Amino acid sequence: ATSRRAKMAASVERVVGEAPAGYTALAVKFGARQRSPHYLLVKEHQLREGAGTAHPPHRTLFVLNVPPYCTAASLTRLFSRCGDVQSVDMCDKPGPGEKEEKLKSKFFNCETVTGFRVAYVVFKKPAGVRAAKALSQEGPLLISTESHPVKTGVKKWIASYAASIVDQEELKAEVDAYMQDYDKKIEEEEAKAAKEEGVPDEEGWVKVTRRGRKPGLPRTEAANLRLLEKEKQKRARKELLNFYAWQHRETKREHIAQLRKKFEEDKQRIALMRAQRKFRPY
């Protein structure tokens, strides 16, 4: 244990961490009580050609290795002293940053990323990025302070248990709203399909659907396979077995070949078991 202490002491002195080219290492600790920091690797976010605009160049700081207890709010707080923070985006791994604006729901499809993550911190001004990089010269950043405590452990779990209890009215309202939209959409689609029913397109093709008067075979893979199977059976029924002498010969030959193959397989198994000394009864 003593050697561990010594190691920890050594790591306290070494606040400025090493970083690969292009990156700056920022030491970050959970609170004042912790001894050894993690190192955030930050750099200015560079855009590849044709990527989206959610993270504008020059103003976005790309942060690697964000510890699990560090929330978007605490990142905002940490970096706000370098300049106004416009948004913080946390992801599991670096991505294109192009977010299609989905219908946000409080109850559905809300997966949170956990563990060590990457973050895109968008400042209002490019100066923020430069100021953030300069933080490496200062002492380790603290995620949880007395004025802004971050909940972990039992407190956090109790809080998330409380959050898991849903408000019934709210949920009901949301479901109802969604279903109304959905029904409307389906209705529209059906109306459109009904209008096209039996009407040939420009090249003269008529679309056959299951709603029409003569529903064709459904276009699924299973239906296709079934059809093939039927064909095969039909062909097999027509064939004569052991009718010609050569067929007879062939069957016999096949039988011996099967026996041989089985024999060969058995021999292999035995050889393997012998190698494993499986035949020692005790």
Binding positions for other proteins, 131-160, rule CB under 8 A:
152-155, 157-158, 160
Closest to 70 measured CA to CA, from 32, 24, 38? 38
Rounded CA-CA distance 33/45 in Å is 32
Does residue 67 touch other proteins according to CB under 8 A? yes
Task: List binders of other proteins among 165-194 (CB under 8 A).
Answer: 165-168, 171-172, 175-176, 178-179, 182, 186
In order, the DSSP letters of 129-163 are: HHHHHHGGGS--EESS-SSS----HHHHHHHHHHH
Give the x-and-dash track for 250-269 against other proteins (CB under 8 A): ---x--xx-xxxxxxxxxxx
Does residue 71 touch other proteins according to CB under 8 A? no
Of 34-42, 52-60, 81-89, 198-206, the segment contacting other proteins by CB under 8 A is: 34-42
> For 188, how many CA atoms within 13 A lie in the half-sphere containing its CB?
6
Q: How many other CB atoms are there within 10 angstroms of residue 165's CB atom? A: 7
Binder to other proteins among 16, 46, 99, 108 (CB under 8 A)? 108
Rounded CA-CA distance 88/270 in Å is 64
* Three-class DSSP category at 261: helix
Does residue 38 touch other proteins according to CB under 8 A? yes
Cβ proximity to other proteins, 42 vs 83, nearer residue: 42
Does residue 275 touch other proteins according to CB under 8 A? yes
Binder to other proteins among 2, 53, 114, 233 (CB under 8 A)? 114
Q: Which residues contact 116 (CB under 8 A, 6 or more apart)?
A: 65, 66, 67, 68
Contact 71, 52 (CB under 8 A): no
CB of 87 to other proteins, least distance (A): 21
Binder to other proteins among 7, 99, 192, 232 (CB under 8 A)? 7
Task: List binders of other proteins among 224-253 (CB under 8 A).
Answer: 224, 253
What tokens does 148 get? 């802004």
CB of 238 to other proteins, least distance (A): 27
Does residue 4 touch other proteins according to CB under 8 A? yes
Contact 80, 148 (CB under 8 A): no
Does residue 216 touch other proteins according to CB under 8 A? no
* Three-class DSSP category at 48: coil
Cβ proximity to other proteins, 246 vs 279, nearer residue: 279
